[in-house]
Amino acid sequence: MKANTSIFRTSILLFILLLSSGAFSQKQLLNIEDVQKRQYYPKSIYSTQFIGNTDNFSYTKDGKTLIIENGKKNQTINIDIEEITPRPLSLFAIEYVSDSQFIYSTKENEYFSYNIYSKKTKKLFSLPKDALFVEIEPSSKNVAFKENDNIFALVNGKKTQLSFDGTKFLVYGETVHRNEFGIDKGLFWSKNGERLAFYRMDQSMVTDYPLVNTSERVAQLNNVKYPMAGMASHWVTVGVFDTKTSNIVYLKTRKDETIEEKEMYLTNIAFSPNGKIVYIKKLNRLQNHYWLEKYDAISGEKLGVLFEETSKKYVEPQTPIIFLPNNPKEFLDLSQKDGYNHIYLYDTLGRELKQLTKGEWMVNSIAGFNSKGDEVFFYATKDSPIERNLYGVKIKNGEIKKYSSDNGWHNVAFNSKGDLFLDTYSNYDKVYSKTQLLDKKGKVLKIINESEDPLKDILKPQIEISTLKTKDGTELYYRMIKPHDFNPNKKYPVIVYVYGGPHAQLVTNNYLGGANNFFMFLAQKGYIVWTIDSRGSANRGYDFESAIWHSCGSVEVSDQMEGVNYLKTLPYIDSTRIGVDGWSYGGFMTISLKLKNPKVFKVATAGGPVIDWKWYEVMYGERYMGTPQNNEEGYKTSSLLNYVQNLEGKLLVIHGYQDATVVPQHSIEFIKACIKHGKQVDFFLYPDHEHNVMGKDRLNLYEKIYQYYKENL
């Protein structure tokens, strides 16, 4: 008896020692301050790319060390940032210009080439420290940039000023049309660097919108040009600079000088392979008709219209044409004209030669070609609407092959021959972040990086992705995040996170199903976090996304309510404690759901909400809503000012005071309407932030939202 007692005491002692030494680790809960910490997100590699026409590839983990490997041999080179003189800003943004060299910049805005084998650097050029929108043509090393409101070209070391009258009213070399239509820059080099196309935007006729900087001793007015729906829009032209003659011509894109012609959208600029022709997709302001036009880059004369597209609702050109690498007489174009975004092959006379991809799925983008030029690589939703995979299609026969491995969300780099693939991906249920080298048959040659679960020491909530059908049979994808200690016999409050508008998809088969650690934190606090991609959202085809046309806040609200009604059928949902949260279009949806469905949502938090579409900008707003003049009823039914009388429960409205996307007028007028109707509403302002709250202040936003639900839901 005594011996057994001694053994028992010894076992207890060993157990205590093991526990105290960390042999048994106890899983923790996320704290609110943890949700943005890098350690709780997958460890990935960055800037993954093949080098020139070789089988070598490079990547970095931290921006300070460049790792170079061979795709078919066991060879590795490590280059530390300190080895490179002068020191690069980082190794994240290097660009290879040959099989052995990349270009980098320093903090002094000097640009160098670096040879990865000889370890030698060569200075290419220097730019002014305040140079912006730098655009380098890799083969010629010609450079275009903006300085003091005007644009310059640096050719063979000679600096040439291309504009002289630039102001905030007359804008050169920047994105135009408020970054819509796939436009993300304003300077475009031809392939050989011989010519530069640039945007010129006259916005002097556009109404000023007053934003206010309150950090000064006396608050300062900051007027921004903001073209509201139905009001005057800016006028855009395209100039072309010839590096050999130094001549500048402006393309003759207007038939006349009417307002209708001046307000045309000039989108998706592309040069012909020889740089002598400029192609532009010109779109009318109503956005229901566009023309692919070609212009002489030397004279500026219009050479003709290759083809045009129309729609009863809207057409939305998003990408420039892409010429086949070995055939200057044929090009590819992306279009939704059959209901889904697909690749079409044309010749330079505008004749459609064939549709390369077809089906009830979307091509996300064209990624490039193999060196033979007979296969096009592209990203698409072919396997699933919530996945992104890389495929190749043979131009000759339309044969399609998948090149990314496993299910999930993929980013793939490939070598020039198109027979080696660096596939970086994740999915929501088993792969956190993984990069592997594949051959053309899909065989894994090497695992480059594989992240362990960054939440392995956290009591992790449960993620479920599935679908439900609406009453009319439309299938919708949803994501449900349940608490880590979920008990089906308990009742849980729900926070619905919503967006519901175009160009966005919230439910995806990637890490956390497209969610973030704030949602995981909320689930750990006992909430079920629910999201559904309603009609109006992206990657489900033209009819699905355009269902909101001329009536925002209708079908997408109905779809969201189908999701809520499904939740109410579940025995573990507390239907008296449902909240809804969203930002931007999601803020509009949040308040729409709250006001149009009284007593369903106990609490709502809306950030940067659109309240009335007549205060939103021309390009996006008119695409989906038309103008207040031609869609009076649609603007009336979508305006949340007309539903304020239905407000009950708790609503928190949040806005950035420097928001030039959804201007503060939306929230201010909503509050004014609430006062008029005797309704109580909570409001919080971020004085220095624009359309979203970023950086360290985002933690303050998370705390604000969490506390609001904690106190009221």
Q: How many C-beta atoms lie closer than 10 Å to residue 695's C-beta?
A: 10
Backbone angles phi, psi at 126, to 5 degrees: -120, 145
pLDDT of residue 71: 84
Concerning whether 584 is annotated as a catalytic residue, the answer is yes
Tell me what percent of the chain is helix, strand and coil, each rounded to the nearest 5.
Answer: 20, 35, 45
Q: Per-residue DSSP letters for 255-297?
A: SSS-HHHHT-EEEEEEE-TTSSEEEEEEE-TTSSEEEEEEEET
Give dist(CA 66, CA 95) in Å, integer: 12
Give dist(CA 269, CA 187) in Å, integer: 10
Q: Name the strands in the sheet holding 650-656, side by side, starting at the edge strand that comes first in the sequence.
A: 462-469, 475-482, 528-532, 492-497, 573-583, 603-607, 650-656, 682-686
For the segment 400-410, the average pLDDT, to the nearest whole number, is 97
| Residues 6 or more apart in contact with residue 467 via CB below 8 angstroms | 475, 476, 477, 478
Of the pLDDT bands very low, low, confident and very high (cuts 50, 70, 90), residue 11 is very low
Give dist(CA 395, CA 343) in Å, integer: 10
The residue assigned the tokens 């992705």 is 465
Closest by Cα among 292, 303, 296 to 274: 296
Domain spans in the chain, listed from the N-terminal domain onward: 132-203+231-318, 462-693
pLDDT of residue 75: 84
Whether pLDDT at 147 is above 90: yes
For the segment 217-240, the average pLDDT, to the nearest whole number, is 98
| Residues 6 or more apart in contact with residue 395 via CB below 8 angstroms | 324, 345, 356, 373, 374, 375, 376
Helix pair 555-568, 585-596: axis angle to 10 deg: 60
Give dist(CA 658, CA 645) in Å, integer: 29
Tell me 443's DSSP state.
-
Give dist(CA 191, CA 438) in Å, integer: 30
pLDDT digits (tens, 9 = 90+) for 459-498: 999 999 999 999 999 999 999 999 999 999 999 999 999 9
272, 426, 584, 667: the catalytic one is 584
Q: Which residue has the higher pLDDT, 18 or 165?
A: 165
AA letter at 152: F
Give dist(CA 113, CA 136) in Å, integer: 13
End-to-end CA distance of the chain: 58
pLDDT digits (tens, 9 = 90+) for 532-553: 999 999 999 999 999 999 999 9
Conformational region of residue 500, where left means phi above 0, alpha means psi within -120 to 50, and beta covers everything else: left
Closest by Cα among 35, 36, 41 to 520: 35
Q: Per-residue DSSP letters for 446-486?
A: EEEEE---TTTTB-PPEEEEEEEE-TT--EEEEEEEE-TT-
Closest by Cα among 576, 501, 490 to 536: 501
659, 666, 667, 689: the catalytic one is 659
pLDDT digits (tens, 9 = 90+) for 674-700: 999 999 999 999 999 999 999 999 999
R_g of the chain, CA atoms, integer Å: 28
Whether pLDDT at 4 is above 70: no
Grouping H, G, I as helix, E, B as strand and the rest as coil, residue 674 is: helix
AA letter at 222: N
Give dist(CA 29, CA 613) in Å, integer: 42
Beta bridge partners of 143: 136, 154
Backbone angles phi, psi at 108, to 5 degrees: -85, 5
The percentage of residues in the chain with a pLDDT greater than 90, rounded to a whole number, is 95
Q: How many C-beta atoms lie closer than 10 Å to residue 168's C-beta?
A: 11
CATH for 462-693 (3.40.50.1820, 3.30.160.60, 3.30.70.20, 3.40.50.2300):
3.40.50.1820
Whether pLDDT at 12 is above 50: no
Concerning whether 80 is annotated as a catalytic residue, the answer is no
Beta bridge partners of 330: 347
Of the pLDDT bands very low, low, confident and very high (cuts 50, 70, 90), residue 244 is very high
Mean pLDDT taken over the chain: 95
Whether pLDDT at 621 is above 90: yes
Superfamily of segment(s) 132-203+231-318: Dipeptidylpeptidase IV, N-terminal domain (2.140.10.30)
